[in-house]
Amino acid sequence: MMREAAPAAEGAVLLLHGGAEHGLRRPSRLNPPARRMRPFARALRHPRLVVAEARYRHRGWNGERADPARDAAAALSALRKRDGGLPTVLVGHSMGARAALRIAAEPGVAGVVALAPWCPPEDPVEHLAGGRLVVVHATADRITSPQESLLTAVRAREAGAQVCRFVVAGGDHAMLRHAGLWHGLTTAAVHGLLGLRPLLPEAVSAFALPPGSTDGLEVRAVAGAGA
């Protein structure tokens, strides 16, 4: 797990990269999904924030094994032990977002930022009650379903979570198109969830909605968001 030191840290963020549906081999040294998260690590730098990255033992989710969720929980526990239990935001992309959602009720988790999340409709959401979730998804994503992430956001809201979902017009799964928008929204969401800066106004409004309400749940992401 890579860490960036922050002597006066008040919060932490754990980055969870994507992967495959199935795969018991170890990730390669190059590990493109992990490299995809490095620009987010740079964007998130803050003198009061520890940035860490989970490492997986296997490439895939692997059905009921849910290997990345187990690895994410272990990484979160190790991070909390080293940093004295700082409140932590989980930032996951694709399969990593699924892992983040799965462990969102672990002690010390202050919120989840799910980027282009893999959200099978059978995954549980009841444990998200009382938590805070920010989803960012591109409308042109052909790898993970924007419709399924919307369904999960609605289900999480109904279960009692505070949820805001940003929609990136067009875009792609790899978050290369409109990269600055992805980085800016993620940084603003993490810093806001940890109280390092005010929450985005769109998130404040969406979080205040009553359970089960979908009006105002979705927000169109625009250039300059999070700036």
pLDDT the model gives residue 219: 83
How far lies 126's CA from each of 84, 121, 142, in Å?
A: 28, 13, 27
In a domain? residue 225: no
In a domain? residue 109: yes
Give CA–CA dist 100/2, Å, rounded.
17
Residue found under tokens 């359970």: 211
In a domain? residue 226: no
In a domain? residue 168: yes
Angle at 177 between CA 171 and CA 181, to 5 degrees: 90
Neighbours of 176 (CB within 10 A): 11
In a domain? residue 114: yes
pLDDT the model gives residue 43: 96
Domain that holds residue 81: 2-220
pLDDT the model gives residue 215: 74
pLDDT the model gives residue 6: 59
In a domain? residue 64: yes
In a domain? residue 94: yes
pLDDT the model gives residue 28: 81
pLDDT the model gives residue 32: 87
Residues with pLDDT less than 70, the chain: 1-7, 222-227
User: Total domain count for the chain?
Assistant: 1
pLDDT the model gives residue 1: 53
| CATH number of the domain where residue 64 is located | 3.40.50.1820
Give CA–CA dist 130/124, Å, rounded.
14
In a domain? residue 227: no
Angle at 143 between CA 142 and CA 149, to 5 degrees: 95
